[in-house]
A = this chain, B = another copy of it.
Amino acid sequence: MTEDLPDQTEQGKKPRVRADAQRNLDALLLAAKAVFASAGVDAPVREIAERAGVGVGTLYRHFPQRADLIKAVFRRELDACADAATQLAHTNTPGDALAAWAQRFVDFISAKRGLADALHSGDPAYEALPAYFDARLRPALTELLSAAVAAGDIRAGTDPDELLRAIARLSAPGPDGDTALGRRMVGLLIDGLRYGANAGADKS
């Protein structure tokens, strides 16, 4: 159900792709990344096309749905964030690794203004997006989580998916782009996991 977006960022197996098409596709991804970061995911399509030096028709040729463009832009950064989890696991105690990655995730979301809102905002075009996010990030968080539980750093019985969503929501920066609030609240959430870690782990 995650649909097909095989590898739009690199040239696929078929050499049939015309050179200008590939060039424009890259330009679009680059422009979209910049525009999204500055104006949010709701930025006008025309602005992205203009910045990429192409017409809107070209944009829609490559990304039939607006959400397709957003998907493509965030895939790579998503991967980077997921990879950070395994790295943090190597350089921290389980509990701290979890806390550190949560903070890292705040940064990731904060840089994508408006994305979190779009994700949970009813628009069916965006519905596939959180699923992909989860699919990519769940393994990373699951590992951190189970390791921390095994070490007795946090309580057991927390669904990684749910925790992921919760962190994502708390991470959204305020209108002034403030990330400190998100950091504090996510920290608080993680502390919630630490509350009664070893004591009542078996019960509830």
Chain A interface residues (CB < 8 Å from chain B): 40, 113-114, 117, 120-122, 127, 158, 162-163, 165-166, 169-170, 172, 174-175, 181, 184-185, 188-196
Contact = CB atoms under 8 A, between A and B. Distances in A.
17 contacts: A113-B122, A114-B122, A117-B117, A162-B185, A166-B181, A169-B169, A188-B192, A189-B189, A189-B192, A190-B192, A191-B192, A191-B195, A192-B192, A192-B193, A192-B195, A194-B195, A195-B195
Contact of A189 (B127, B181, B188): B188
Contacts of A40: 122
Q: Copies of this chain, how many? A: 2
Nearest to A188: B192
A185 B186 CA distance: 11
A188 B181 CA distance: 17
Q: Which of A158, A165, A166, A193 has the most CB of B within 10 A?
A: A166
Nearest to A158: B188
Nearest to A155: B191
A120 B117 contact: yes
A193 B189 contact: no
A119 to B, nearest CB: 9
A170 B166 contact: yes
Given A169-B170, A195-B195, A117 B121 contact: yes
B122 A175 contact: yes
